[in-house]
Amino acid sequence: MAPTTQLMFVIFTFFSFFLCATIDAQLSPSFYRKTCPKLQGIVRKTMAQALYTEKRMGASILRLFFHDCFVNGCDGSILLVDTPTFTGEQGALPNKNSVRGFNVINTIKTNVEKACNATVSCADILALAARDGTVLLGGPSWTVSLGRRDSTTANLTAANTDLPPPFANLDKLISMFAAKGLNATEMTALSGAHTIGLGRCVTFRAHIYNDTDIDKDFATLRKATCPFSGGDANLAPIDLRTPNKFDNRYYQNLRLRRGLFHSDQELFNGGSQDGLVESYSINGRRFARDFAAAMIKMGNISPLTGSHGEIRLNCSVVNN
């Protein structure tokens, strides 16, 4: 081989490798088009069955995805259970006794494994399930890019520090989302996920008993099932009017000072997000559009791709 030909071959090989590595590290909506073509249909069908049994599950899966992505990226780490030799994230303060839906993700995984064994990650299943649960409750759809791989580790410390708490003020919320690459608009749009689901008394007690930025009648209503002491696990709808419908009433509630959590009402309390809350409360289409875009961006936080991580056979534990 002539020197010039050898040089061209080396250059071609280098760029081919570089191109493959770049592509390998990217997520794609068509990632499983050939290897698991029935994937999205399986996820949608299983989620529909889960919501038929319990409407709340849509909110639970959406929250599970959020809590996964905010801790070391969207890698399925929150799905890992504690073992005698492994400590996961489920015992972190923001997750303990509150994150749920693991049984649904495990059921989807079982169904997917029957169609295409050892092919689809639990992280991708969670991303699709969060989207489908939202759609099935009347919310917007978005294109989910796929190709995430599953983490073999978890981060309890980060789960305790990186997840926005229900008592956070606006500056804290903005900074915590910014740390994940999400701006204030995206933070306010993603907070609209609280248009569905339930909250535990312990997470909103301080707001209804101590805060002044709350409608008095609403506070009285919530106190009926959330006593000053005790009843920590008692549940209340985050959106009083349509807790099982994904709409823009969450923002309408904020304008009426009926946010269930302190962090909710901070979005409409004389601060920088008041105007956006007003807009979303009037323009449901704008909220839906911004929410979908923010979910896409959140779903792209630090995914494991290529040869990193693994494809778990059981979402609850790492492979042997």
pLDDT given for residue 19 in this prediction: 36
The answer on pLDDT for 14 being more than 70 is: no
Per-residue pLDDT at 13 exceeds 70: no
**Predicted TM-score (pTM) of this structure:** 0.91
Other C-beta atoms closer than 10 Å to the C-beta of 61 total 27
Closest C-alpha among 204, 154, 166 to residue 63: 166
User: What's the rounded mean pLDDT across residues 59-68?
Assistant: 98
Query: What residues contact 224, with CB distance under 8 A and at least 6 apart?
Result: none
- Which residues are bridge partners to 304 per DSSP? 149
68 is in an annotated binding site: yes
Residues forming the active site: 67
Over residues 160-193, the pLDDT tens digits come to 999 999 999 999 999 999 999 999 999 999 999 9
The rounded distance, in Å, linking the Cα atoms of 67 and 309 is 19
Average confidence (pLDDT) over 57-80:
98
pLDDT confidence of residue 54: 97
Any known ligand binding at 71?
yes
Q: What pLDDT, on the 0 to 100 scale, is given for residue 320?
A: 87
Q: State the Cα–Cα distance between residues 52 and 30, nearest whole angstrom.
A: 28
Q: Rounded to whole angstroms, how far apart are CA atoms 300 and 144?
A: 9
Q: What is the pLDDT of the chain when averaged over all its residues?
A: 93
What average pLDDT does this structure show over 239-256? 97
Is 290 annotated among the ligand-binding residues?
no
Distance CA 240, CA 217 (A): 13
| Percent share of the chain, pLDDT over 90 | 91
Question: How many whole angstroms separate alpha carbon 206 and alpha carbon 40?
Answer: 41
SS3 95: coil
194 annotated ligand binder: yes
User: Looking at residue 25, what is its pLDDT?
Assistant: 53
Better-scored residue on pLDDT, 132 or 320? 132
Q: Is 259 annotated as a binding residue?
A: no
Above 70 in pLDDT, residue 202? yes
* 109: Cβ contacts below 8 Å, ≥ 6 apart: 120, 122, 125, 314, 315
